[in-house]
Chains A and B, each alone.
Chain A
Amino acid sequence: MDADGLLLSLELASGSGQGLSPDRRASLLTSLRLVARDYRFARVLFWGRVLGVAADYFVAQGLAADQLAPRKTLYSLNCMEWSLLPPATEEMALQTAAVKGRFIGDPSHEYEHTEMQRIKEGDKVYEEEVVVQVKEEIRLVTIIDQIDKEVSIIPRGALFKTPMGPIHVNRTFEGLPLSEAKKLSSYFHFREPIDLKNKTLLEKADLDPSLDFLDSLEHDIPKGSWSIQMEKGNALVVLRSLLWPGLTFYHVPHTKNYGSVYVGTGEKNIDLPFML
């Protein structure tokens, strides 16, 4: 959700029970403005909150003018002092894949897990136990990156692709009509398209190249990984990800108000097929 309209956004996204206490709100409003100035961001998003056992991570993201360009991610424990996170790499994802359980809330905490590694010495192959240590900060980076790639979404038409390539906020976006807002196909993944290239010509025929340049939600696997609901008497569409429980997206039809926030433990729900 945009840092500028934070209060309204929080009220709108509150249906899942996750809010911010008044002192957190006030401090976020103050500190995110400073973050935008210091890091020269065009736009600052309040990304969400990762619940730890001892403390929570508050996460914000800074956007450049091109909306799909890689973003910078910051975290804070007290909503005032923000630290920049390193960009996520595949190597980090491999490292943290074995880590399970809740976040602790201490960025310097090191998870330890043993791995069997094969070591070749001449002809003999030994299996040795190697203790791998992963910092919680690294794990936080990869989790944020995964959530961004898998479930961060925008409504169709909110962004448009300029002829030169960069993607900009669509100023003439007037919100989705009510009939469209209830369909998954009017929401897009907010990431570089993956499935779009694999579409057949026939499927691409109806797409508008300046608007339909992202992957639509309706083909997500497994089917039913989204819960779409009308709340407050049909005045608000709320999408909740069942794959990453805690991600809430809201949109008020016919207005420009949309955004998403993640409040959760930072764990993927791999039991989803059993639960549907």
Chain B
Amino acid sequence: MENWSDLKQELEGQEENEEHPLLENTAADSSKESEPEFSEPRESEREKPEIAPQFRNPPPPSPIPHSSVSTSLHLLRGPRTPSPPWPPQEPSPTPSMDLAKLVRATPSPSHSDKVVHMIPESGTPHSTNRQPSLDEVEENAFQLSQHPEFHQQEQSNYAKKEPKVDIFQVEDSDSNCDPNPLQPGVSEEAPSMHEIAVQNAKAYLLKTSCKSGLNLYDHLSNMLIKILDERPENAVDIFENISQDVKMAHFGKKLDTLQNVNEMLPTYEIAEKQKVLFLQGNLEGTDQELEDEIGEPPFPNIMESAFYFEQAGVGLGMDETYRIFLAIKQLTDTHPIQKCRFWGKILGVEMNYIVAEVEFREGEDEEEVEEEEVTDGDSEADEADEDDLPRSFYKAPQPIPKEENRTGANKYVYFVCNEPGRPWVKLPSVTPSQIVIARKIKKFFTGQLDSPIISYPPFPGNESNYLRAQIARISAGTHVSPLGFYQFGEEEGEEEEEVEGGQDSFEENPEFEGIQVIDLVESLSNWVHHVQHILPQGRCNWFNPNQKSEEEEDEEKEEEKGEEPDYTEQEVGPSLLTPISEDLEFQNTPPWTVRLSSNIIPQYAIAVLRSNLWPGAYAFSNGKKFENIYIGWGHKYSPDNYTPPVPPPVYQEYPTGPEITEIDDPSVEEEQAFRETQEAAVLPEEENEETEEDEDDYD
């Protein structure tokens, strides 16, 4: 359609612009074209009987070249601009139409010298009057390509002239698909759907290929010209070859567009980033000393565990896994990392997260000083300002402090990246309130770490905090190992009070001999959690909120005593290394599904554990080795719909009591009675005073 409108605009523009400069031309044209009538009347008359039957409409009164021009013009102008056929004296104002040009060029090969002159002339006004557009350049190219044909046609004799007119007549009617003769009267009616469809089809044919600069319409007309020029024996059989010849003969100038095509930029960008991953190995491999130093790499063999996970039907595919492998290697090279694991992948709406679980080397974990949340400052400031009015008695519940690094839910540090090759981002450590609230909401991850979490209840933090909270929850729920692989550390863990959270440290059991795979499949009690359970409080180790308040705020302690129970019951969860057979069952669904990876060859199969509570969490063990992975949306499964938490209870108003109610205004009687009693009381005194005064006076 665009092409069509272009043509149309061009046409109109031309009409405006070129009327004056072309007036001479048109005059010349008409004279040229009228020449054959007069100079060669014998020819046309002689040929007429042959031609007449091929014209489906009765031969117009005007001479044949004229009729062909006018019909083709009419065709190109199309039903959009229905207009009476051009008056025969100005057929030239549409030189931009390729077909029109062709038509005009071909019927007059006898005056080929004039024609060749004429075309450049008609071409020049475009370039001078308006900015040269691509169409025009093509047009010129097309004209150039036409020249050889003109020369050929020069050599052709007069006898061939008239059939050519026929050809174009035929081609016109073909392309129009209109069985009716092209009569000027038809075009004056409103454009029908059929004609619009024809125009659309034509516009499609005229669409220029961005590779070769050709369009099918021109190509077809060139081919037909060639066929009719050469008259091969079986044209239909060698049609493809002709098409190829025409394309080969086409001479197109390579256009310089002055603008870089940058559509594929993002593809190259990520490829460029990932290239760095593949190159890093080479750089290090050359350094012999470094190789010696690296005894045990701080990152695991991800490909090996990926192989086992593939047996289980889980995994990201070899290609992506290897890129992640390289990315994790890059992470350990750039940070002081003692131990690193591929935790899994969390899917997001726009981007995904690849998560790495990291333990920094002793003493080297850099800790940013995070700003402590100032909550009480405001209320204190208010106190000072307004002494008279009562202050708000409401105090925010005691914030539960987050756990120290390397303990509890903050035992590991997590790094995420959107794609292997993109930079790793360290997630902040998790706070109990974030975990508590994350349990109440269910949101999709977007893939942008800094996007806000809009939820009820309000989530304290952005997506990076929510991601961290979900990672903590998933790790606590689904990281399991075969029984006996880990044992409690003996020296460590003594500083903490044992009563509070049980032992929270463990170490690898050097005497672990492995468990039969079949035992792992048959009994869930052979799998144990090796990550601490997160209490409802949001911490792994119990923190007594009341205890602290007693120490710090002695003054307010007494007030609180009356309102709150002094001792909150300690929340206790399953201790570390508890078998997963003791996990809670939810609504008739077992929390874990365990099976052999292959039923066909059970001898070499591995045990695969799937969490039903956290869909996407898997673990495998071949008896000696084990690994956990999570790939999923980061949501917990529940058979019921998500229910938003109920709104908090409305605070009751102050009960109506003697402090609130007021007595009625004192009535006149009361006041009078009061005055009387007062007077009664005062009078004797006054008398006394008076007497005293009198006495004094008398003294």
Contact = CB atoms under 8 A, between A and B. Distances in A.
Interface of A: 11, 14-24, 51, 53-54, 78, 100-102, 178-179, 224, 227, 229-230, 232-235, 240, 242, 245, 264-265, 270-271, 274-276
B389 interface: no
Given A14-B317, A23-B598, A224 B589 contact: no
Interface in B534-593: 587-590, 593
B642 A224 contact: no
B639 A234 contact: no
The 8 closest A-B pairs by CB, nearest first: A17-B631, A14-B317, A233-B270, A271-B642, A234-B267, A21-B313, A227-B349, A101-B639
B316 interface: yes
Contacts of A274: 441-443, 642, 644
Interface of B: 263-264, 266-267, 270-271, 274, 310-320, 345, 347-352, 419, 441-444, 587-590, 593, 597-601, 610, 612, 615-616, 631-633, 635, 637, 639-642, 644
24 contacts: A15-B317, A16-B347, A17-B316, A19-B313, A19-B314, A20-B313, A21-B313, A23-B598, A53-B612, A100-B639, A102-B589, A178-B264, A229-B351, A230-B266, A232-B320, A233-B266, A233-B267, A233-B419, A234-B267, A234-B270, A265-B637, A271-B442, A275-B443, A276-B444
A16 B351 contact: no
Nearest to B200: A208
A271 B352 CA distance: 21
Contact of A22 (B271, B311, B587, B632): B311
A125 B616 CA distance: 49
B631 A227 contact: no
A14 B631 CA distance: 11
B347 A23 contact: no
A101 B588 contact: yes
Contacts of A54: 593
A14 B316 contact: yes
Nearest to A248: B347
Contacts of B642: 271, 274-275
Contacts of B419: 233
Contacts of B444: 227, 242, 275-276
A20 B310 CA distance: 7
Contacts of A270: 641
Contacts of B267: 233-235
A22 B593 contact: no
A11 B319 CA distance: 9
Contact of A19 (B274, B310, B347, B600): B310
B316 A21 contact: no
Contacts of A15: 316-317, 320, 352
B503 to A, nearest CB: 33
The binding surface of chain B is classed by DSSP as loop
A53 B589 contact: yes
Contacts of A265: 615, 637
A275 B466 CA distance: 13
Contact of B315 (A19, A227, A245): A19
Contacts of B588: 101
Contacts of B631: 16-18
A39 B276 CA distance: 51
Contacts, number: 107
A233 B493 CA distance: 46
Given A53-B589, A101-B589, A271-B642, A233 B274 contact: yes
Given A19-B314, A101-B589, A235-B267, 11 more contacts: A15-B316, A17-B316, A17-B345, A19-B310, A21-B313, A22-B310, A23-B598, A102-B589, A227-B444, A229-B350, A234-B264
A80 B261 CA distance: 51
A15 B319 CA distance: 10
Contact of B263 (A19, A24, A179, A229): A179
Contacts of A264: 615
Contacts of B590: 53
A15 B632 CA distance: 10
B314 A18 contact: yes
Contact of A21 (B311, B587, B612, B632): B311
Contacts of B610: 51
A17 B315 contact: yes
Given A53-B612, A102-B589, A234-B266, A227 B320 contact: no
B465 to A, nearest CB: 17
Contacts of A20: 313
Given A15-B316, A17-B631, A19-B314, A102 B264 contact: no
A23 B310 CA distance: 10
A232 B319 CA distance: 9
Contacts of B345: 17
Nearest to A27: B600
Nearest to B590: A53
A24 B312 CA distance: 10
Contacts of B315: 14, 17, 19
A271 B641 CA distance: 6
B349 A242 contact: yes
Nearest to B599: A78
Contacts of B639: 100-102
B313 A24 contact: yes
B141 to A, nearest CB: 26
A227 B635 CA distance: 16
A248 to B, nearest CB: 10
B442 A275 contact: yes
Contacts of A224: 349
A19 B349 contact: no
Nearest to B345: A17
A11 B444 CA distance: 25
A178 B443 CA distance: 30
Nearest to B441: A274
Nearest to A234: B267
A233 B269 CA distance: 8
B349 A233 contact: no
B350 A17 contact: no
Contacts of A242: 349, 444
A225 to B, nearest CB: 10
B442 A17 contact: no
Given A17-B314, A17-B616, A21-B313, A178 B593 contact: no
Contact of A14 (B264, B320, B442, B640): B320
A125 B499 CA distance: 61
A24 B316 CA distance: 16
Nearest to B272: A233
B580 to A, nearest CB: 15
A79 to B, nearest CB: 10
A19 to B, nearest CB: 5
A36 to B, nearest CB: 23
Contacts of A276: 443-444
A21 B310 contact: yes
B640 to A, nearest CB: 7
Give the one of A100, A224, A232 with max B CB within 10 A: A232
B175 to A, nearest CB: 21
A232 B420 CA distance: 9
Nearest to B313: A21
Contacts of B319: 11, 232
Contacts of B640: 100
Nearest to A265: B615
A229 B352 contact: yes
A11 B322 CA distance: 13
Contacts of B632: 17
A115 to B, nearest CB: 18
A240 B631 CA distance: 14
A158 to B, nearest CB: 20
Given A21-B313, A101-B588, A227 B350 contact: yes
